[in-house]
Chain A
Amino acid sequence: MSIKNIIAPTFFICLILPLLSFSETIKYDKVKLKRAEIELIEDRLLDVGIFIFDPNIPEDIEDNPLVFPEIRKAEARYIPYHLKNTLEESGFWGGVWVLPDNTKAMDLNVSGRIIKSNGYDVSIKIGVWDISGKQWLDKAYKARVGQSSYSKRRDLTQDPYQSLFNEIANDLQKIKSIYLSKQLKRISEIGDLRFASDLIPSVFNNYLVQDNKTNIYKISRLPADDDPIMQRIGDVKERELLLLDTLNEYYAQLYREISVPYEEWRKSNRQNAINYEELKRSARKRQILGAVAILGGIMVDGDSNASGYAQQGLMIGGIQAVQSGFAKSSEAKIYKESMKEGGDSFDSEAEGLLIEVEGQTLRLTGNAQEMFLEWKRLLKQIYTEETGINLKEDSAQ
């Protein structure tokens, strides 16, 4: 037997062994939400605004058939709303709102981008800044969702992605716990001044200084507690929160309407995604094994009957493995089609719901914007009337 006859099967075995021994133990994430055991004092309660998430819809949607734009847009509203519920449930925060747009009324702003969500794997990038401009968090969260997360016997207030929501909430609480109460109070004061500066920049811009390097705001002076214009600004801020309350009622409506079909979609998509990935992996494995066997067969050399049989066996086995690999690949396509079908169906359902809530949001914010402009004008006029100081036009911080 030549050296080639020894090397060929050895090479073959070396390539095959890692593929055969491959097995995966899936660990599903279970993160518990940390809850406040006692009611927190007011200074420790920050108001949190969660922007509607970036749905991260790929431009080349044709090349990403398993990303459904309307589902993503619905998730971009559903996920922040559930995060709001989770933060409220933790008891560590003041008011929590979902925000359609930028506002200076919040102490802490949360933004997010959906990286992946198919019912089985979820990945979200989260960024959090306080109103002084300091970044609290910039992290990608991932979770693998188990079948039991979709059980009808579970606590149904818990979303199948609950672990991910809990992890975000726990991280935020952990960061907040580092701050002293007076530091948290200072953040709220900066928030009040930034809100004031947005309304009457020429009066309140110089109450704050922004660091040139870090862009973080610091207070240079504070208005008197009984400053009448600050009290009126507080009235306007209350109206902004009232507007957000109302807008959040619309988001709540969408959340309620979408929660059941969205969960059903995630549940069935999860199973299809698992089957699809499994079959794709199996197909790939068989194709590689087949190719290696064929290669091994080609490399077997010799005139003996044994080497002839070995060569023939490897070649036939290899071809069969490649063929079964292709069969698995076709089977995988069925699950891909099934995911596409299920996604398309929920996609059009979500579209209708989104149009309604977006229409209401635009109408409401459009009307309110006019009101806020009027208040800006009136506040300047009142300031002039009460102090005798004429204000020049300028921009907010």
Chain B
Amino acid sequence: MPTQAGISGQQTGQSASSIFNESLGDFDKEMAGERDIIAASNQGNSSMTAQEIADMESIMGADLDGPIDISGDFGNDESEGNNDSEEEFTGEMSEEEISRLPSCVDKDGSGEDKIARQLRVFAIKEDDPNIRNEIWKQYLKHMGIGQSQIEECLSK
């Protein structure tokens, strides 16, 4: 993460001050990406706080004294047709979607966790190739792929 601006800056003879400023921007982007990942995993996460469960119960008119099913996927009921990332991956991918997969990413999503699956959904849905590339970068980083391999994979 950190040395991208530094390395390229030193190679192009930039001043320390501009490398510094650039690296702050890189860091901000990095953190923004990180927060996107968290937001994505929060969206895909069915866990709720006690307050949220209580709100949901009162909306549904449930008896407040009844047992709380903490394992239940509130608001995420596939039977009601709500799309969620896992469902999208178990379904068939269109040709266009397949074309958006980098060569090093498995089509079947093996070894992915919740966060990775969400990132994959975001990347596939993203129409802007630059943003898509950034999301794939985050995905590959999250999957533990090294920086050089990421660049190699995405440049193909």
Chain A residues engaging chain B, CB cutoff 8 angstroms: 152-153, 156-157, 232, 235-236, 239, 242-243, 245-246, 249-250, 253, 256-257, 259-261, 263-264, 356, 364, 367-368, 370-375, 378-379, 381-382, 385-386
Contact = CB atoms under 8 A, between A and B. Distances in A.
Contacts of A375: 20, 23
Contacts of A235: 24
A22 B93 CA distance: 72
Contacts of A246: 31, 34-35, 38
B104 interface: no
A35 to B, nearest CB: 19
Given A156-B49, A382-B20, A385-B17, A253 B70 contact: no
B143 to A, nearest CB: 12
Nearest to A255: B49
Contacts of A242: 27-28, 31
Interface in B29-55: 30-31, 34-35, 38, 41-42, 45, 47-51, 53-54
Contacts of A245: 31
B48 A370 contact: no
B16 A378 contact: yes
Nearest to A254: B47
B3 A370 contact: yes
Nearest to A382: B16
Contacts of A249: 35, 38
A200 B114 CA distance: 41
A259 B6 contact: no
Contact of A261 (B23, B30, B45, B70): B70
B50 A374 contact: no
B60 interface: no
Contacts of A261: 70
The A interface is mostly helix, strand or loop, or mixed, namely helix
B2 interface: yes
Interface string B11-29: 0000111011001100110
Which of B3, B6, B27 has the largest number of chain A CB atoms within 10 A? B27
A201 to B, nearest CB: 18
B68 A371 contact: no
A371 B38 contact: no
B59 interface: no
Contacts of A250: 38
Contacts of A378: 6, 16, 19-20, 23
A253 B41 contact: yes
B32 to A, nearest CB: 9
B45 to A, nearest CB: 7
Contacts of A385: 15-17
A261 to B, nearest CB: 6
A372 B47 CA distance: 34
A-B interface, 7 closest residue pairs, ranked by CB to CB distance from nearest: A371-B2, A156-B51, A381-B16, A367-B1, A257-B47, A370-B2, A156-B50
Contacts of A257: 45, 47
A73 B24 CA distance: 34
A356 B116 CA distance: 13
A256 B27 contact: no
Contacts of A367: 1-2, 30
B49 A256 contact: yes
